[in-house]
Amino acid sequence: MPKTRRVAVYLDKGGTGKTTSAAHLGAALDAGGHDVLLVDLAGKQGDLAKELGVDDQLQADIANEDDFPNVATTMGNRWGDVAEMVGTDEAVDRLVYPTETGVDLIPAHPDLDGLDADLGNVDDVDDRYSRFRRFLDDYVEPLDRWDVVILDMPGLANNITYNGLWAAQNVVTPVLMGSFEYSQAQRLQEDLEKIRSNYGEDVRLQMLIPNQFDRRTNLHAEKLAAFQDEFGELLAPEYVVDSQQIRTATEEGQTLFDIPDDELLKTGTDARDAFATNAAELYNRLTDD
């Protein structure tokens, strides 16, 4: 059993708040005294690097070709050689960007695009999906630098997603209060059940976080009640309200945890506190297992 608590923020649907939740749960755990490593497996435009204010640095490194190894390398065929060549600690160090929020980040990289196809060519299914787990087990765990690892996942199921699920074994899922999201969450449970029966990987949904909750509409209250009926204790203790400050903070490369108390509006404070409560509860759930 790994010493670090690992969790993947995942739902195979775009735009439900996965990246926002990964950043804020990480920031909350950091504020709570944990050492947190965030990993962006979502690719795209390196959302977490932007949200955590290190995107300029990352883009400069990419432009200067100072971007090897990167997150995609960890799942490539030559990771073992690379690590041996530069040294194990150094190899991991080169992947990690410290952030002002306090968490450390392994950002996404354009090479993730090609990696999915490369993984698809790996014949041995066990090897194909276990690469990121091996990276965490063999290279990250021994460093003893972090006690929580949070993976920001793509909003779809591909080979990289499976690597994330295999590595984390635990899933936290932000859900919007719509009817489509409700069936999506049910489907996620079915997908994880299939992973358990087909591959013997015990990937478990640990927490559903109602996100962008609007207290002014009855519809959201009704949806929340339906979620509570169906998912019971899987639901997070607190919903996260819709907060414009999340969007503006994100644009400025910050989380709500980086904003001084007296500059937070009511919804911003509520959203931040909800993430803090949910992060503490998530940590407990990961610990109890």
Ligand X SMILES: Nc1ncnc2c1ncn2[C@@H]1O[C@H](COP(=O)(O)OP(=O)(O)OP(=O)(O)O)[C@@H](O)[C@H]1O
Q: How far apart are CA 93 and CA 30, in angstroms?
A: 19
Interface with ligand X, residue 243, by CB under 6 A = yes
Strand order across the beta sheet in which 170-175 lies: 97-98, 104-106, 36-40, 148-152, 5-9, 170-175, 204-210
Interface with ligand X, residue 211, by CB under 6 A = yes
Interface with ligand X, residue 18, by CB under 6 A = yes
The correct pick among 7, 25, 38, 42 for binding ligand X (CB under 6 A) is: 42
Q: How far apart are CA 126 and CA 117, in angstroms?
A: 16
Angle, CA of 28, 31 and 34, to the nearest 5°: 90
Tracing tokens 């909750």 back to the chain, one arrives at: 213
Q: The tokens of 98 are what? A: 């410290």
The correct pick among 48, 72, 167, 246 for binding ligand X (CB under 6 A) is: 246
The correct pick among 5, 13, 18, 94 for binding Mg ion (CB under 5 A) is: 18
Contact pattern from residue 25 through residue 54 relative to Mg ion, giving x for each residue in contact according to CB under 5 A and a dash for the rest: -----------------x----x-------
Task: Report the partner that residue 250 touches, choosing among ligand X, Mg ion, none (CB closer than 5 to 8 A by kind).
Answer: ligand X
DSSP state of 135: H
User: Which residues on adjacent β-strands are paired with residue 98?
Assistant: 104
Residue 144's alpha-carbon distances to 25, 71, 125, 136, in angstroms, are: 20, 19, 29, 11
Shorter beta-carbon distance to Mg ion: residue 91 or 154:
154
The correct pick among 101, 163, 212, 254 for binding ligand X (CB under 6 A) is: 212
Question: Shortest approach of ligand X to residue 180 CB, angstroms?
Answer: 14
Contacting positions for Mg ion (CB under 5 A): 18-19, 42, 47
Residues at the interface with ligand X (CB under 6 A): 14-20, 42, 47, 155, 211-212, 240, 242-243, 246-247, 250, 271
